[in-house]
Amino acid sequence: MPSAEILLFALFAVSSVVAALGVVAIRNPVKGAMSLIACFFCLACLFLLQNAEMIAILEVLVYAGAIMVLFVFVIMLVEDKEQPILTPALGQRIAVPIKIIGVGMVGYALLSVISRSVAIDTPRPSYPDELPDAFGTVAHVGRELFDNFLFHFEMTSILLLVGIVGAVIVSKRGKDKPNV
């Protein structure tokens, strides 16, 4: 009989994969964003099962909270209700199988590289038996983030700002012309 932890892991793992497929398969962008929020929630639950409470909380606060609110805001701002999301065309019908074959080839190449790299008998790095006492605490992660990764943190902020400004510019472009 599987334990409750294994059953919860299976439930959240399958739910996260289904929600991720929903992000790709759903044509309505708002419903796709909601499916992405469900995927983030399932990932946070998986982190909780691994006793990574801080990462789970950050997953919910940062991704499901802040980033997804930004995504939904941009989708609502840019979305044009009168124009269909995809227009059926012969080129799109031909491109879909080509894309699927391309993704399959990349996946096969990655699997072959990984299988060859694992087969090589290389010495594994030695890990300490015990982690430091402060490892994984909010203070330790904050110090690590702002001491060693401050540039990356600030570049992410700038990237999000550029995305918002770009969405506003794109949404305003079509509204400046008067209807004739």
Q: Would 49 be classed as within a structural domain?
A: yes
What DSSP assignment string belongs to 114-179?
Answer: HHHHHHS--PPPP--SS--TTTTSHHHHHHHHHHHSHHHHHHHHHHHHHHHHHHHHHHHHTTSSPP
Q: What is the CATH number of the domain that holds 19?
A: 1.20.120.1200
Q: Would 53 be classed as within a structural domain?
A: yes
Q: Would 122 be classed as within a structural domain?
A: no
Q: Would 123 be classed as within a structural domain?
A: no
pLDDT below 50 — which residues of the chain? none
Which pLDDT does position 55 carry in this prediction? 85
The total number of structural domains in the chain stands at 3
pTM over 0.75: no
Which pLDDT does position 121 carry in this prediction? 60
Which pLDDT does position 13 carry in this prediction? 95
